Structure 1
Amino acid sequence: MTDIDPGHAAPDTRTRPRTAVVTGASRGLGLALARELARDGWNLVIDARGAPALEDAAEELRETAASSAASGTAVIAALAGDVADPAHRAALARTALEIGHGVDLLVNNASVLGTTPLPRLAAQPLADLERAFAVNTVAPLALVQALLPALRERGGAVLNITSDAAVEGYETWGGYGATKAALEQLSRVLAAEEPGLAVWWTDPGEMRTRMLREAGEDADAAPPPEEAAAALYRLVTDRLPSGRHQAADLAGER
């Protein structure tokens, strides 16, 4: 499903509006990052699997763009679907090119935990692990491939959301952590192969999200995702070098 409505937002300081694709943007960190972009006047293409929640998020983002202090017109497009579905990915890329005539930023945020409660590797259902790799690793690369010509043309950026589970040996986090470790390696190689782009792979830290709660962690004790989003948005505004970044470090440097 596609829904494209204009909102009121700040114009770009360059001669054209900026356009971003943000996956998993109906809640949590994805929505918080989309808010940061909407406040700054970006055109947005957002996705999530649940259509009602995604439409609610799109309406909120349109209001956020409309209440921005500057003038201009931002377009918010919402497409419900699964990033593991090639047809959905093609629709995301096509819509971004239609509304923005190019792409400046891809945020690969959509993610799944896999089996819950999180199992030890000895009991990891392989079908669930394959699904997690399809969503957390293969889909981000596929979106990069689909948008790479447009990103190259604009000297754009790729922001891949990873996890400390990608680099730490936490018990029961082996399956999810493996998908994120693979995403980090893909990001590292992409940065080497595409020096004209900014490529960031980022650990947002623990956040008060449904995903953390589903993992069996104390989500209520974690900070809200808006804190991590504000820190990570500094990568975009300051065009920091390609590499692995942690939200906690970025927040401390502001």
Structure 2
Amino acid sequence: MPVALITGASRGFGRAAGLALVARGWDLVVDGRDSTALDRAVAELRSRGGPHTQVLAVPGDVADPAHREVLARVVGTLGPIDLLVNNASALGPMPSLGDYPLDRLESVFAVNVLAPLGLIQLLLPSLTAGGGVVVNVSSDAAVEAYPQWGGYGASKAALDQLSAVLAVERSDLRVYAFDPGDMRTAMHQEAFPGEDISDRPGPETVVPALLRLVEERPPSGRYRASELLAGVGA
């Protein structure tokens, strides 16, 4: 069975992606900072998979190097990894850049930039063994200048550039910066406290765009879910 690691899989897009993959026969390693939420997600993932599907959970924070080491070791128990989805993200505070606390910016970059690269480095031999796929979940804030989104947007722009350079350096991999667009998730609600975000699409509606990348394996690059979804079934 193919093997995937999805970070931030206890809720939102990570959970939705995991549900779609186990239904297609993938073995998964998943993580999340909230162990209770992760346990609930894992129970659901296992119920969707086949009798031989393996779903292994590692609670923890991707910003912690020791946690990333454990993730890599657990992945190794399943065999070479076919797909790494760097989905875990930190929104951080949302003041103007002139007032942004630099220690908080370091924390945002630790989760959104350094952690994905750290996992890629640890898993690179396994990924290249089977010509694997790396999906780094990005944002439109990486390419658009939204007021108060400077910290998060800068981190995702850095992740985009990391993805682009890795793709040039490693032609034996497929490396995608994946922009899912607005979704009805807890993190999106955090960005708009007190607002009704029920008009945003659920994360499960975006998963077919991710599956198209994984299954069709177009050239490495930056892809918007909206553009991929427009081509589904075409």
**Fold similarity call, TM over 0.5:** yes
Structure 2 counterpart of 1:88, one-letter code? H
Structure 1 counterpart of 2:214, one-letter code? V
Q: Which residue of 2 aligns with 1:79?
A: 58
Structure 2 counterpart of 1:248, one-letter code? S
How do 1:1-254 residues align onto structure 2 when only pairs under 5 Å count?
17-66=1-50, 73-98=52-77, 100-115=78-93, 118-216=94-192, 218-254=196-232
**Per-residue deviation, 1:112:** 0.6
| Partner SS, residue 104 of structure 2 | helix
| Partner SS, residue 219 of structure 2 | coil
Q: Is 39-48 or 228-237 further displaced after alignment?
A: 228-237
| Contact 1:45 1:96 survives alignment (8 Å) | yes
| Contact 1:58 1:76 survives alignment (8 Å) | yes
| Contact 1:129 1:175 survives alignment (8 Å) | yes
Aligned length: 230
User: How far, CA to CA, are the matches of 1:112 and 1:171 in structure 2?
Assistant: 17
Aligned identity (percent) is 52
**Per-residue deviation, 1:153:** 0.5
Structure 1 counterpart of 2:26, one-letter code? W
| Contact 1:212 1:218 survives alignment (8 Å) | no
The alignment's TM-score, normalised by the length of structure 2, stands at: 0.96
For structure 2, the residue ranges without an aligned partner over 5 or more in a row are none
The alignment's TM-score, normalised by the length of structure 1, stands at: 0.89
For structure 1, the residue ranges without an aligned partner over 5 or more in a row are 1-16, 67-71
After TM superposition, where is structure 1 displaced by more than 4 Å over at least 4 residues in a row?
A: none
**Per-residue deviation, 1:218:** 4.3
User: How far, CA to CA, are the matches of 1:25 and 1:101 in structure 2?
Assistant: 20
| Partner SS, residue 167 of structure 2 | helix
**CA RMSD, Structure 1 to Structure 2 (Å):** 0.9
